[in-house]
Structure 1
C-alpha cells in the first residue's frame, strides 16, 4: 500500500529560525484587556475578565454550549479564583485572538501511547512532542469545541486570568488605602481589611485596570468553595422559559428562509433545473445554485418568506441529477474491502511492545473479527445558519463548534477579508462532532449573497441532514491473542482498517489544495492505547479512502474501538474460564487508576454479589478516552427477542471534578446516546445514496426504553479531563457482554437489534 506523508524541509537558515523559535517561552494566554469587547460601563482587566459597576463579572467564552455544561463549568473556574458567587458571573462570546484557541484539543491528538511519557526520563519524544504542539497551538489559536477538551484547556488559563484580575483588584485597594496586600482579603466580590475598610469590585475596577497584578497565586485546593461542588447550570432557566437562542431561533428584521436540496447521490450535482412551478408559488423569491462547499454535495436552495413556503417550493423543483464520477459507493462492499485490506495490506503500526510474531509460534491463538457501520450524528436541531451580506461585510449566526473556521469559510465564499466577517455563536441543539464542519455556513453565505443585503436563514430538512452527513467511518478489526503454555494471555495483535477522519476534515475545513495523508490517531484510539498489560503486542491500522464523507462522531474512534477491544477481552476471559473482572485485574497490574475505576463499578453494581431477577444478566466494560477512565456495568434482558437495558452503573475518574452534577448528567446523556447507536444506529449506502432518511429509519432511544443510570465519581487530584464523550465507548461492549452472558451468543458487529 502506498503511503504519503507531510515532508517538512528546512535550509540551514530556516532551521536556525526554528530552533530559535522553539527556544522562546510559550505565549501567555491571559491576554490584554483590549481583547475584551468594550461596553459602556464595564472595565476589562485582561483578555478574559471584565468587571461591571455592580461588581459582577463578565467572562470571555470561546467554547460552544451543546449540552455539555461548559457555559456553567468555565464560570465556576472564574468564580472560584475571583471569590464571587457563581450567579455573579455571566459570559460573552470571546473574540478572535489566539489566546482563545483550544490548545488541549490539538495536543490530545498526538499518537503517543500513555505509557511512553510515563517511561521517559527528562525531555523524551512524547514530552517534547507535546511541548512543541502546545507551542504551535498557542500561536495558531484555533478556536474549537471538541474532543472533550474545554475544561482541560481552560483549567489553567481561566483560573490564572481570574486570579490575575483578583490580584489587580487587591493591588488597587492596597494603593488606595496604603495598606499591605498581604493584609487584604476577598470575599463575595468585596476586598476588605480587618480594620473595617472595604470596597466592591465595581468600585475598584477602574483603578485595578491601571494596577499591575504583581504576584499572581492560585487558590489552594483546600480553600476551594466553588470548584468541586454541585451548582445549578446557568443555561437551564432560559431553556425552560424558551428565551434561549439556538441557531434555528434567530430572527432578524426582514428575514427570509431558504431550504436546500442536494444531489441524492453523494458527490453528485444538479443538471437541468426546471423551477417554473416553484417560482410561481406564494412567497417564493429566488432559487440559488450551490456548489460543493467544504465537502458537501452540490445542490440548490429556494428562498421564500416562510420556511413552509420554501420547503414546498424546493420539493416542486424538477431537476435532472448527475451522478458522481467513478464506481457507485456501497457500504456492504466497502466493509468487504476493509476486511480484505486487513488480510492483505500493510498497516501503520501505532504501538509495539515485545515480539508478538515470535510468541505466536509457541502458543494457542484466539482470533475474532469485529465491524462497525457508517453512522450519522442525528442531532435534534437540523443543520442551519443565518447570514447577511451587505456593504462588503458578512454577518453569520450559527450553531457551530468552530466559529473561527466559519469566519474563514464565509470570507472565502463572499470574497471579503476575514476581518469583514462577524460570527455570532448560538446555542447548539446537539453537536456530537457534526458542527465541527462548515458546509452549511458556506451555503448560507452563498444564498445571502444573492439577497441584496436581506438576511436569510438556511435550514436543512431532516432528510438532507440524514443523507448528507459526515459519517462515523465504517471499520473492521481482526483481534488475535496468543495464550501461553501456562494459560496466560501472552501476546496481542490487532489490525484494523477504515477511513482517516482528521486528514479529510483538514482538507475540507482548511481548504487545503491537495490531499493530506498522515497517520490519524482517531482510527486506532482505544486500541493502540488500551491499558492492558500484554507483554507482547502490536496494534496497526490500514488507512483506506472509501469516498464516503467521514467526520468526527461523539467519542470518534473510541466509539467502535472500545466495542472491539472490550468484547474481545471478555472473549479471552471466557476462553480461559476466568471471571471477566478477575481477568481484567490481572492485565491491569501496571494500571492502578484503571483498577480503582473497575473496583468501584464492581462494588456499586453488585457484580457477583447481588442476585438478578430471572432472565437478566450483567455485562462489564472498561475504557479510557479523552484522559478519563470509565467503567460501566449494564443489566440486560430480552423482550420480544430484542435487548432491553434496565440499568447502567458508571464509575468515572475524570481528574479534578468541577461540577459533579454535570458529570452525572453527561454520563446519563452518553448512555442514552450510545445505547441508541448500539441498538439501532447504522447508515447504509447503495449506489452512492444513503438509505436512512429520517428518525423512523434510524430510531433514537425513547423515554420508555431509557435505562436507570447511576454515576460514581472516583476521587482524583489530577488535572480535569474529558466528560462529554468518555461515557459513550463502554456502553456498547457492556451491553454486548451482558447479551453473551444471557444467551451464549457473541455480538461482533454493530448495531445489535438491526
Structure 2
C-alpha cells in the first residue's frame, strides 16, 4: 500500500546542502527600490512602494484582477500602514523579481490535515519553512488558490511600514526632532512646533534614510482594514474605460482566429486553404502545434477578427484522431469506478483501525458519488495580443501567470525571457483557466509571421468551450461502519480521478523541476482533511491519467469532494436517525472553530423552524483555502426542477480586510456553484466535446438567483481565502435539501431529479 512520503528525501552531501540551506533565514521580500524602472520625479523606497511628487504612493501589483477585488484589498493594506487615503494609492504592474512570487499559494499545497496544522507540530513548522523558502527562491508570480491577500498580508504591510519609517526618519533628520513627537495624517507628517511636510517632499531624503526598527500597526489602531471600502475597479468597468484583453488596440494591429482539431489531442491532416486565402482581408495562414498541453490546429490572420474567423471556417481539413484513440467520458467514468475496486491508491490520511471497525460493525453504510468534467466558461474567451520585432516579444494579455507567459513566449520566439515584455490587462473571468499559457504561445507563434505588426489572437466561444483544461471527472466510494450502539465508528473514502498539478507543471514549467508525479493534494482535498471526529478514518486517492486536458477550476478538488463528503455525512445522519445539524455538531466537539461557523449559519438560517409548504433546508460545512464556510440552502421544486430561494453563508476567513468584498465573493461563489450543481457537465464522445456554447451549457439566470446572506466570524487570525471557499458547500447543501424535500438522494452532479 502506498503511503505518505512527501517533500523529498536526501542523503549524503546533497542532504547536507539542503538541510544547511533550509536553516538559513528566508530571503527578504521587501526588495530594493532599484527594482522599479527609473521614472522622473518618482522615488522608490523599496520594491513595493514608491512616492510621487504630490505625496501619493504607487504600489507594485503582482496579482491579476479578475473580479475578486485584489486591486482594492492590497492597496488597503498599504494605505493602512502609510496612513494615507486609499484614493491616493496608485497601482503599477510589478516586475518579474522573485519578491513578487506567491509564497502562500505554494505553502498551502502542503497536504497537512488542518486540525493537525492547528497544533503546529514540528513537521508542519518544518514543511512550511522549507516550502516557503523554496517558494521565495522560485518566485512564481501566480494569482490563484485564493491566496492573494494571504500572501500580501505580511509583505505589503511590511513594505509600507518600512517606507513610512524611512519617511519619518527623514523628517526627524531634517527637522532635528524626535520621531515620537510626529503625527501622520493623510500622508502629511506634522510636529506640534508647526513643521509639516507631505510624503512627496520627504521622499528623496527618505530613500537614503535607513528605516530603523519597523513595527506594524496594532489591530486597535486600524482605520481601513476591516472596513468595507468601495471597489476601485468598478467605476472604470461601469463607464467602459477598463481595459480587458479584448480591449487592446495598437497601431497597425491584425487579428487572428483559430481552429483546433475538434478531437482532443488530435491534429490536422491534409488541408485546402485556397478558399480561405482568397477571402477579403486575409493576411496569413499559420499552423499551430500542440503548445503547452493544447490541441494542434491553425490560425488565420486578417484585418478584422470577423474576416479571419470566416476564412478559418472555410478551410477544408482532414482532422486526425489522437494516436492513443478517441476519448470518451462515459468510458472514462466506467474505468474510474473500476479503479476504485482494483487500486488501493495513495493514502492521504489515516487514523485508528478502519478494517477492525468495519469487521465488527453492526452495519455498514456505503455509497458511490460522481462528478463530471466541467469547463471554466469565462465570459471573456481566451485571447492574447502579441508583437514580435527586433528580437523582442511584447504581450498584452489577461493572465494569472505573467512569468509563465513570458517564459513560453521566449521559448516559442527563441529569445531570452528578459526580452519578453508582459502587460497584464484586466481579466474577464479566470477561475483557473488563465493559469494556462497555451493561448499565449499560439499568439506569439502567429505574431512571428506578421512582419513585426501586433496581432490579437481571439478564440471563438466554441473553441473556448471545446478546448478547455477541464475540471477532472472524479468518482468516490464512501463507507462508514456503525457499531452495535448506533455510533459511527469509522469512515473510509477512496476516490479516483486525474491529478491536475503534475500536468500543469509539465506543460507550464517544463524543465524547471523535472518529472512530477508525486501525490497531488488537489485530488483528495476535501476528503482527507475533514474536521469530523470519527474514531477511525482512512482516505486514499487513485491518481489516473485519462488523456483529457485537466486544469484548476474554481476551488479545484474541493469543488466536487465537498459534494461527496458533505452529502455522505447527511446520509449518515438520516441512516442513524439523527438531525443533520446535530450529527455534525457531535462530530465537531474537538473542532471548535468549525463548530462556531456551523452554529452561526444554522442560527441565522433558522434551522429547525418551519418553512413554507413545499420547501426544505439543507446544510453543509467545508474548509478550503484557509477559510471555513457553512451554508444553509432553502429549496423547493418549480415545475419539477430545483429552485434555491435563499442561501445563508457563515464564514471564518481569519482577519477580514474588506467585509464588502467577502460578501460579494460569497454571492459570486453561490451563483457560480449553483450553475455547476444544476447544469454543469462536459460530455466527450469520439474525442469531441459536445457542449459547444452557452445554449448547450445553461447558466443560472438572474431571476433564478437566490438571496445570499453572509455572516462573518470575528477572528484575529491571518487572512484566509475568500474567492473560492464559498463554492464547495453549495452543491451538497442543495442536494441535502432536495433529499429532505423529496426523499431522493442525488449522488451525481448535475443534480437532476
| Alpha-carbon distance in 2 for matches of 1:188, 1:746 | 58
Equivalences for residues 610-649 of structure 1 within 5 A: 611-649=610-648
Determine helix, strand or coil for the equivalent of 1:294. Answer: helix
Paired with 1:528 and 1:705, the residues of 2 have a C-alpha distance of 34
2:563 paired with 1:563? yes
Q: Distance in 2 between matches of 1:347 and 1:617?
A: 38
The TM-score normalised by the length of structure 1 is 0.98
Q: Any idea what the Cα deviations from partners look like across 1:534-554, whole Å, max 9, x if unmatched?
A: 010000000111111000000
CA distance in 1, matches of 2:9, 2:638: 62
**Deviation, structure 1 residue 3:** 11
State the secondary structure of the residue aligned to 1:473: coil
Q: 1:37: Cα distance to partner?
A: 2.8
Output one character per residue of 1:242-276: Cα deviation in whole Å (capped at 9) or x when no partner: 00000111000001000000001001111111111
Question: In structure 1, what is the equivalent of residue 733 of structure 2?
Answer: 734
Select between 483-492 and 375-384 the one with higher mean Cα deviation. Answer: 483-492
Q: Indicate if the aligned counterparts of 1:6 and 1:517 stay in contact, CA closer than 8 A.
A: no
Q: Distance in 2 between matches of 1:320 and 1:332?
A: 26
Contact 1:263/1:269 (<8 A) preserved: yes
**Do the aligned residues in 2 keep the contact of 1:296 with 1:468 (CA within 8 Å)?**
yes
Q: TM-score, normalised by structure 2?
A: 0.98
What is the aligned partner in structure 2 of residue 249 from structure 1?
247
Partner of 2:434: 435
The residue that corresponds to 2:266 in the other structure is: 268
Residue 707 of structure 1 deviates from its aligned partner by: 0.8
Q: Of residues 274, 280, 283 in structure 2, which corresponds to 1:282? A: 280
2:19 matched to 1:27?
Answer: no
Do residues 336 (structure 1) and 340 (structure 2) align?
no
Q: Structure 1 residue 197: deviation in Å?
A: 1.2
The equivalent residue for 1:676 is 675
Could you say if the C-alpha distance between residues 661 and 120 of structure 1 is closer, same or farther in structure 2, counting changes exceeding 3 Å?
closer
User: How many Å separate the matches in 1 of 2:529 and 2:7?
Assistant: 26
Distance 1:311 1:97 in 2: 38
1:72-100 CA-partner distances (Å, limit 9, x unpaired): 00000000000001111010000000000
Task: Note the alpha carbon deviations across 1:652-674, whole angstroms, 9 max, x for none.
Answer: 00000000000000000000000
Alpha-carbon distance in structure 2 between the residues aligned to 1:60 and 1:255: 29
Q: Does 1:538 align with 2:538?
A: yes
For the residue of structure 1 that corresponds to 2:519, the secondary structure is coil
SS in 2 for 1:447: helix
Aligned partners of 2:115 and 2:591 also within 8 Å: no
SS of 2:293 mapped into structure 1: coil
- What's the secondary structure of 1:109's corresponding residue? coil
- For 2:600, the equivalent position in structure 1 comes to 600
2-structure distance, mates of 1:142, 1:582 = 44
Matches within 5 A, 1:158-557: 158-363=156-361, 364-512=363-511, 515-557=515-557
Partner residue of 1:696? 695
Shift of 1:119: 4.0
Task: Report the Cα offset of residue 69 of structure 1.
Answer: 0.1
Question: Following the alignment from structure 1 to structure 2, what is the Cα–Cα distance between the partners of residues 302 and 120?
Answer: 56
Mapped contact 1:6–1:516 kept (Cα < 8 A): no
After superposition, the C-alpha distances for 1:140-190 in whole angstroms (9 at most, x for unaligned) are 100000000000000000000000000000000000010011111211101
Contact 1:5/1:516 (8 A) holds in 2: no
Matches within 5 A, 1:121-140: 121=121, 124-140=122-138
Structure 1 spans left out of the alignment, 5+ residues: none
Structure 1 residue 144 corresponds to structure 2 residue 142: yes
Kindly state the Cα deviation for residue 473 of structure 1 after the two structures are TM-superposed.
Answer: 0.4
Three-state SS of the structure 1 residue aligned to 2:210 is coil
Aligned length: 751
CA distance in 2, matches of 1:367, 1:77: 48
| d(CA) in 2 for partners of 1:708, 1:230 | 20
Q: Is the 8 A contact 1:294 1:511 kept in 2?
A: no
The reply on whether 1:94 has 2:94 as its aligned counterpart is yes
Contact 2:2 2:346 in 1 (8 A): no
Counterpart of 1:619 in 2: which secondary structure?
strand
Q: Which moved more, 1:486-495 or 1:151-160?
A: 486-495
Q: Deviations over 1:18-44 (max 9, x none)?
A: 222112100000000011232221111
| 8 Å CA contact 1:33, 1:46 repeated in 2 | yes
Is contact 1:4-1:518 (8 Å) kept? no
* Partners of 2:372 and 2:473 within 8 A in 1: yes
Asked if the contact 1:384/1:440 (under 8 Å) is kept, the reply is yes
CA contact (8 A) 1:490 1:535 kept: yes
Aligned partner of residue 291 in structure 2, secondary structure: coil
CA separation of 1:515 and 1:430: change in aligned 2, threshold 3 A: same
2:718 corresponds to: 719
**Counterpart-to-counterpart distance in 1, 2:453 and 2:3:** 48
Q: For the residues of structure 2 that align with 1:579 and 1:588, how far apart are their CA atoms?
A: 14
Measure the CA separation in 2 of the matches of 1:5 and 1:734: 35
Deviation at 1:117, TM superposition (A): 2.9
Deviations 1:588-644 (A, max 9, x none): 0011111111111111111112x2111111111110000100011111111111111
> In 2 relative to 1, CA 235–113 (structure 1 residues): closer, same or farther, beyond 3 Å?
same
Mean Cα deviation higher: 185-194 or 406-415: 185-194
Q: Distance in 2 between matches of 1:327 and 1:696?
A: 29
How far apart are the structure 1 equivalents of 2:743 and 2:347? 34
Q: Aligned residue for 2:155?
A: 157
